[in-house]
Amino acid sequence: MGLPNKLNLKRKKELQREVKRQRALAKLIHEALSQGDLTVREAQVMLQVVSSQIENAFYLKRLKETLGSLELEITDKDENKTKAYAGLLEALSGEHIQTATDLIKGFLNAVDGQIALENTKRNYTELELDLLE
Give the tens place of pLDDT for each residue, 31-54. 999 999 999 999 999 999 999 999
Question: Which pLDDT score is estimated for 9?
Answer: 86
Question: Which pLDDT score is estimated for 132?
Answer: 77
Question: Which pLDDT score is estimated for 8?
Answer: 86
- Name residue 96's amino acid: H
Question: Which pLDDT score is estimated for 3?
Answer: 65
Could you give the C-alpha distances from 94 to 51, 72, 83, 104, in angstroms and in order? 29, 13, 18, 14
Question: Which pLDDT score is estimated for 27?
Answer: 96
Could you give the C-alpha distances from 45 to 26, 50, 106, in angstroms and in order? 17, 9, 36
Tell me if 95 sits within 8 A of 66, measured CB to CB.
yes
Ranges of residues in the chain whose predicted pLDDT is under 70: 1-4
d(CA 97, CA 69): 9
Largest CA distance in the chain: 71
Tell me if 32 sits within 8 A of 47, measured CB to CB.
no
